[in-house]
A and B are shown apart, each in its own frame.
Chain A
Amino acid sequence: MASDTAVPVASTATGHPTGKGARRRPHDDTRLALMFIAPAFLGYCVFLLWPTLRGIYLSFTRFNLLTPPKWVGLDNYVRMVHDPIFWNSMKVTLEYVVLNIAFQTALALVIAVMMQRLTKKTWLRGIVLTPYLVSNVVAAMVFIWILDYQLGFGNYILQHLGLGRIAFLSSDHWVIPTIAFINVWRHVGYTALLIFAGLQTIPESVYEAGRLDGASENRMFRHLTVPLLRPILALVLIITVVGSFQVFDTVAVATQGGPVNSSRVLQFYIYDLAFGRFQFGYASALSVALLLVLLIVSIVQYRLSRADESDLD
């Protein structure tokens, strides 16, 4: 649908600069810019803005999708505040995000620096990205088998090491760390690649100066790489934190929120309410809550990390 509408807009956009107006006043590109923006803006409105507004509207209704929505005011939000499963899912989601982001970012940073400083081999850099090429569902399935309590290879190794079997995905203590680890495995390469791109922007001369001053590799990492990488790291963190809050498919495939509610993350709870229990109104209210949380988290992150300034100048 989007490509259909994009074609005529693009053709008028390319046709425009040949017109007389554009030749006479070359500095005013507003109209041209608007035309380039138009297709994306249309997509933004149709696929993002309108659904968001409609979702906010639906959060004030009782709606089962098959009969018309009924306005109930703030009922859904009152229910949300008193819903222990909602608060539990918030807690579980937060626990997941903290574990996932902390390990993922730290590991990715190490991998990226190693790619930058130690090896120039393309195939080695490529290997780092391979887990990301596996779909989330497949990754979850593979780990279900590896970590199976009875037959999994992972538990087979643990038992032979004398550590005893661990019910990774079916004990309430292990389930969130396990899911967080599965997603670290899958996303760390991609995150490392983003950071690696950021590292490329740091000029080699900075390191040369460091080396002349006799700084060790370790010290250069702490006092040169990290500060100069800050804007990129901030961007990567915002993207990955937002993604992390929306963890869904690993949970849907591996645990369906269990055992009991210990992996019932917010996105899965919302999905279950909407598509399992036909409570689209209440599910919309929870989605709005998630939207607000993400908005606040992103703004705070942006401010704290001064993502819009660089120390490179």
Chain B
Amino acid sequence: MFRTKRIRRRGVGVALAAATVASTLAACGGGATGSTASGTIQYWLWDSGQQPGYQKCADAFHQANPTITVHISQYGWGDYWSKLTAGFIAGTAPDVFTDHLSKFAQFADLKVLRPLDELAPTKDIQDSDYQSGLAELWKGQDGHRYGTPKDWDTISIFYSATALKAAGITPEQLSTATWNPTDGGTFEKIVAHLTVDKNGKRGDEPGFDKNNVVQHGISSEGSGGGGWGQTQWSAFTGSTGWQATDKNPWGTTFEMSDPRFLSTISWYFGLVRKGYMPTYQEIGGSSAIGTDKEIQTGMAAMGLSGSWMISTFSNLTDAKGKKLDIGIAPSPIGPSGHRASMFNGLADSITTQSKQPETSAKWVAFLAGEQCQDIIGQSGVVFPARPKATQLAIEYNKSKRNLDVTPFTDQVKDKTTFLFPVTSNAADITALMQPAMDSVYIGSQPVSSLSKVNAQLNQLFKVVG
């Protein structure tokens, strides 16, 4: 009775939001029905780092279409999705929102997204305008397009140049490291050597105390149960040639009993037992810190992270406010003979609740167009979906940050990427995967338990599908 106020308070918030949206809609309702599109478009995104860039886009859009204003709202990742879900339920969802592949299928199933190929401004968008493979991901099982690609991301290793130097490891050694699930290859040797205990002993030296590690060789981003190990183990499982589902997008059978997957996961979390990677407790359990904080505090010497974190890493400072020397290396070469990175991308989607779909589509087309993507490329926060704008982002990082980001872009150039597994029932999959992967990370369940989870996932598609 006294402990459920959160829901109620959230209820009030929704009601207030409903009131504001209703009043804005009422205020501009007259114009929307006219021959020229006008009004205010509500646009949501979750990454505060990207907001300034998209504000510039919104200003440019307003300049080209003086009758239309875009209002951008930003919410943190967790709040973003619960607010959006609540918005769909309460009828207060925005006109346009930034969509993620891990959520998109669910929204398509719930029929809350508007097919963009049926709206005039977005009808003529071509798959070939974007980095290859990106646009196809946003087509539903019914063949309709539900999102226009805005950016893409891959995974690489961020390292502390100081820690690398202290260990006597050159960036070239790290960039050419190889990896396998049996003994970890030269990559694990580097990780071990970068690990330092409280007596100053390194992870590969005799007398190393794995229970009192000051600096771990590699960071942890949690168990990776929520996004197919995107910034955790996906670079390793991917480099064995393993795929999460029978086909992608819209796979219905899962491959977690595959020995390549199980042996990789066993090796990956084995790093925790060896003291080379922080434990579940050390990173803060379910409210975990990420690779950026772990490198910043010196808890880890290097770690995997996504290209959307480039600007965060380039701005890391030590306790005295001095900028840290951060470098980027590609993920290691695996048993398949090449590197691998998950290839993921964001898109803009229009909700069925939007009262002004054509106007919204105009904004979406602008976001996916050359002018806006070039603006985003020049802000250097993410890699825009268009090849030319991607090049602008590479140049920006080179000239403004003195940072070589080609480890991220080479994965695309060399075609060593694999796509984020897009499936239906994404929320149910996360609900089953997260606790299962967490318990493997903690060590309370053996890796073999994942075969059972795999059977549950397959069952999910037999029951619901």
Contacts and interface: CB of A to CB of B under 8 A. Distances in A.
Interface stretch (A10-18, A111-119, A169-177, A299-307): A169-177
B5 interface: yes
B85 interface: yes
A257 B398 CA distance: 43
Contact of B5 (A135, A171, A183, A255): A135
Interface stretch (B29-37, B59-67, B276-284, B384-392): B276-284
23 contacts: A66-B110, A66-B111, A136-B3, A149-B282, A169-B285, A170-B286, A171-B281, A183-B3, A239-B1, A242-B1, A248-B3, A249-B3, A249-B5, A250-B3, A256-B286, A257-B286, A258-B286, A260-B439, A260-B444, A261-B435, A271-B7, A275-B85, A275-B86
A149 B110 contact: no
B287 interface: yes
Contacts of B82: 275-276
- Pick the most buried of A172, A258, A260: most chain B CB atoms within 10 A of its CB: A260
A66 B89 contact: yes
A52 interface: no
A95 interface: no
A187 B2 CA distance: 9
Given A64-B110, A136-B5, A243-B2, A255 B427 contact: no
A176 to B, nearest CB: 14
Contacts of B111: 66-67
A130 B2 CA distance: 16
A255 B3 contact: no
B197 interface: no
A277 B2 contact: no
Interface string A178-215: 00000100010010000000000000000000000000
A277 B460 CA distance: 13
Interface residues of A, number: 45
Given A136-B3, A260-B435, A278 B281 contact: no
Cβ-closest 4 pairs across A and B: A170-B285, A167-B281, A258-B286, A249-B6
Given A242-B1, A259-B442, A277 B6 contact: no
B22 to A, nearest CB: 16
B4 interface: yes
A248 B9 CA distance: 13
Between B4, B82, B112, the greatest number of chain A beta carbons within 10 A of the residue's beta carbon is seen for B4
B435 A258 contact: yes
B444 A172 contact: yes
Interface string B1-25: 1111111000000000000000000
Contact of A278 (B6, B106, B287, B444): B106
Contacts of A276: 82, 85, 427, 431
A92 B82 CA distance: 25
A184 B5 CA distance: 17
A267 B76 CA distance: 24
Interface of A: 64-67, 135-137, 144, 148-150, 167, 169-172, 183, 187, 190, 239, 242-244, 246-250, 252, 254-261, 264, 267, 271-272, 275-278
B282 A258 contact: no
Interface centre among A148, A170, A171, A248 (most CB of B within 10 A): A170
B438 interface: yes
Interface of B: 1-7, 82, 85-86, 88-89, 106, 110-112, 280-282, 284-287, 299, 427-428, 431, 435, 438-439, 442, 444
Contacts of B281: 149, 167, 170-171
Nearest to B6: A249
Nearest to B89: A65
Contact of A259 (B106, B431, B438): B438
B88 A66 contact: yes
Given A149-B282, A255-B285, A259-B280, A137 B6 contact: yes
Contacts of A243: 1-3
A239 B1 CA distance: 8
Given A258-B435, A277-B431, A278-B427, A247 B85 contact: no
A171 B443 CA distance: 11
B75 to A, nearest CB: 16
A144 B4 CA distance: 19
A149 B287 CA distance: 11
Given A144-B287, A171-B281, A277-B428, A260 B438 contact: yes
B3 A246 contact: yes
Given A258-B286, A278-B110, A248 B4 contact: yes
B3 A247 contact: yes
Given A66-B110, A276-B82, A278-B110, 7 more contacts: A67-B111, A148-B284, A150-B282, A167-B285, A239-B1, A256-B286, A259-B285
A66 B112 contact: yes
A244 B111 CA distance: 38
Given A150-B284, A172-B444, A255-B285, A246 B89 contact: no
A294 B428 CA distance: 28
B435 to A, nearest CB: 5
Could you say which of B110, B111, B287 has the most chain A C-beta atoms within 10 Å of its C-beta? B287
A54 to B, nearest CB: 15
B366 to A, nearest CB: 29
A76 B1 CA distance: 26
Nearest to B289: A150
A174 B175 CA distance: 42
Contacts of A172: 442, 444
Nearest to B428: A277
A246 B1 contact: yes
B220 to A, nearest CB: 13
B6 A255 contact: no
A181 B5 CA distance: 19
A118 B330 CA distance: 70
Contacts of B282: 149-150
B285 A258 contact: yes
A278 B107 CA distance: 11
